[in-house]
Structure 1
Amino acid sequence: MAWSYRKRIKIIPGVHLNISRKGISTTIGVRGASLNIGPNGTYLNTSIPGLGIYNRQRISPAPGQSQRPEAYVPEVATLEPEDRGNIFSVAPNDVTSNDMQGIKATIVAAHRQKKELTQDLTKVQSALFVSRMQLFCSYVFLYGLFIRKIPQQVRETIAAQQDAILRIKEQIDNSYMQMDIEFDADMKAKFSVLEDTFKQLSHSQKVWDVTSAVHQNRVAARSAASTLVMKREVAIAVKGIPDIRSEISPLWLKNANGADLYFYPGFVIMYDSRDQFGIIGYNELQFDFGPVRFVESGIVPGDSKVIDRTWAKVNRNGTPDKRFKDNRQIPIVRYGSISLKTRNGLHEEYEFSNYEATESFGNAFSNYIRSISN
């Protein structure tokens, strides 16, 4: 069985983020050639190491000098009950910001190389199995005892295949995008606060992904709630994405009806799979948070506050509807809510049982993205 593997692999360009109050500067590339994306425009940097030859070429103007719309500066707002319909985002491949295309291409290249190497690994492992069977058969059927060069050649092939497997595994392990992040002191402090408040938020007893919110006729439903909300319990945590290595792990929110969200220091990634993901700059993100009153017919989470009470079936004036014999009082609870939107199609909403943790995170996140968007 013929076997081979790719002895030469591409060097996956690294990504360096420099985060300061002036904005985010992104450098993508390897030694001798890199792309720098920052507040002053996009530049191609080329050099010949050791000869002192260096060239810097501007390939696109600064955002203020282009025809692109001005960056959206997020504002904090309290969410009010409204008819929002189904709440979901477009396909993740459709949301990537223009200035994030280079980072996405780097991640795609890392995944493609890892996929090709994994295919090579399978082929060599299969060939190794065949070689071992050949060596075994050479002794079982005795011909290896008479023609000594046959088992010797097979042993040499086995050794080469085992060495190839080790090399391929090492190459697979190195097929990733390395992301280095450098903060100035002020932004480092802001991001540390963001991480701490997110960890507190992740300890909320309940986290829900809101998938729809539609108006309902309170009189017909005999309910105190004017909005019918559909939501599913999800998880949030600090964890990374395959094909990206960084000292800082992103803040992860599970999405019940679409791609998960990973918040890195310089951008958010909508990630469904290694072939389906998009990257959004914070300058395009609209982030809102605030309290929400929820008529809780189930069990009230231990970290939530009951702020009022109503009846399972109520009249228009709020009094209990006496036509229902088993009518009971139910609590109105204050939950925390966050909303994430972009013009390109990101639309997600979450609710949290711990409002205080939601407020702390909302303030920290708003402060962080406002600082790098100014």
Structure 2
Amino acid sequence: MGIRFRKSINLGLGFRINMSKTGPGFSWGGKGFRLTRTASGNIRGTAYLPGTGLSYQKEFKNPLAKESRQGSRKEKNEHRQMEAYENEKSYALDFKNIKSTGLSEIIEAARDERPYKLLGLILVVAGIFLFFINPSLIGLSAIGLILYFYKKEGPEVDIDYDFNENSKEEFALTNKLLAGILESDEVFLIEAIAEDGNRLVISKRSPLKITKNLPGKFKTNVEVTSLWSGNFSLSFLPDALLLAETNSYKAISYEDMEVDLRAEEFVEFGHVAKDANLIEKTYLHATKDGQPDRRYKDNPEISLVEYGILEMKNSDFDILLGFSDTIIDGK
């Protein structure tokens, strides 16, 4: 024999909460009609003629519950992608551990100075000792901390280049190549690449802003292309790659790094740039004839896209720049 439990709480203004073993339900209505949200989440509409016993009832799926299920499927799909990204390779820069191999005097000249660092340290230590003699002297430590962390900005630095004919032509060709790459609809810094089966996915990227200005206090007599991602930038000088993060600078001579320009195929789960080479549209799990594999409930449509990659690396870093248009034709 089954045991039923039901309790109704009237909240006024036509609202009522119905309690049962399966959970709470909510209803609202007046004379002749009532809308009920059942414990299962559906909406039940009831219309009736008072005093006649005639009524009509219809149950609908709750659209909010549907959105919830869609959200659940999305979460499962994101979870599946997170599991697939366990083989992720990071290309994040450890800026502090990058060693400069070029423009050493220029980098040193632009560095912010801390002229009172030693004096500040002495006052901090003295204030701590004197505190036990006279507590009011702890103020020396506060003054010492201010002096210790005080920074004096370095001067503006001009980098002047004097080209011969060959070097001038070579630099012009480099800038032309860069212009061809950066005319793409999308240019981005690749921070991580993962494997999804036997295919590659750019799992983390940052869009790049393109300017013709050097970062910070640097100026030069040639046109230089700089790429910005937040407070990080890289600038293509004639003889070195200038890296900047906030007010810190590193310069890497081109002779001290490997440069590779290539095209690679990646999976995109969403938007694809208009100028990208779309190889095909398929499914995450596809049959041999390209149809979706019905064994998988979460099986989104994906795009196989060819992106250009400009890789610059040495023992301290590995920078990957991605761009959508692999036809470098200057158009």
2:228 to 244, 249, 254: 254
Partner of 2:323: 352
Q: Which amino acid counterpart does residue 293 of structure 1 have in structure 2?
A: E
Whole-Å separation in 2 of the counterparts to 1:179 and 1:239: 13
Q: Which has the higher helix share?
A: 1
Partner of 1:31: none
Please tell me whether residue 204 in structure 1 is matched to residue 208 in structure 2.
no
* Correspondence list, 1:42-191, <5 A: 85-92=89-96, 94-97=98-101, 100-108=103-111, 111-112=112-113, 175-191=155-171
Which of structures 1 and 2 has the bigger CA Rg?
A: 2
Q: Which amino acid counterpart does residue 203 of structure 2 have in structure 1?
A: V
Unaligned runs of 5+ in 1: 1-82, 117-171, 219-223, 361-374
- State TM-score, norm by structure 1: 0.49
Let me know the Cα RMSD of the aligned residues: 3.2
CA drift of 1:268 comes to 1.1
CA drift of 1:326 comes to 8.0
8 Å contact from structure 1 (residues 180, 246) kept in 2: yes
Unaligned runs of 5+ in 2: 1-86, 117-152
Whole-Å separation in 2 of the counterparts to 1:179 and 1:228: 36
Please tell me whether residue 194 in structure 1 is matched to residue 174 in structure 2.
yes
Partner of 1:313: 285
Please tell me whether residue 269 in structure 1 is matched to residue 249 in structure 2.
no
Moved over 4 A (4+): 315-319, 324-329
Go from structure 1 to structure 2 and tell me whether the alpha carbon gap of 1:190 and 1:294 turns closer, same or farther (over 3 Å shift): same
CA drift of 1:178 comes to 1.8
8 Å contact from structure 1 (residues 250, 263) kept in 2: yes
Q: Which amino acid counterpart does residue 179 of structure 1 have in structure 2?
A: I
Go from structure 1 to structure 2 and tell me whether the alpha carbon gap of 1:190 and 1:329 turns closer, same or farther (over 3 Å shift): same
CA drift of 1:246 comes to 1.2
Go from structure 1 to structure 2 and tell me whether the alpha carbon gap of 1:199 and 1:228 turns closer, same or farther (over 3 Å shift): closer
| Structure with larger RCO (C-alpha < 8 A, sep 6+) | 1
8 Å contact from structure 1 (residues 93, 278) kept in 2: no
Q: Which has the higher strand share?
A: 2
Give SS of 1:182's match. Answer: coil
Q: Percent identity of the aligned residues?
A: 18
Paired residues in the alignment total 208
Whole-Å separation in 2 of the counterparts to 1:84 and 1:312: 18
8 Å contact from structure 1 (residues 179, 244) kept in 2: yes
Whole-Å separation in 1 of the counterparts to 2:160 and 2:178: 22
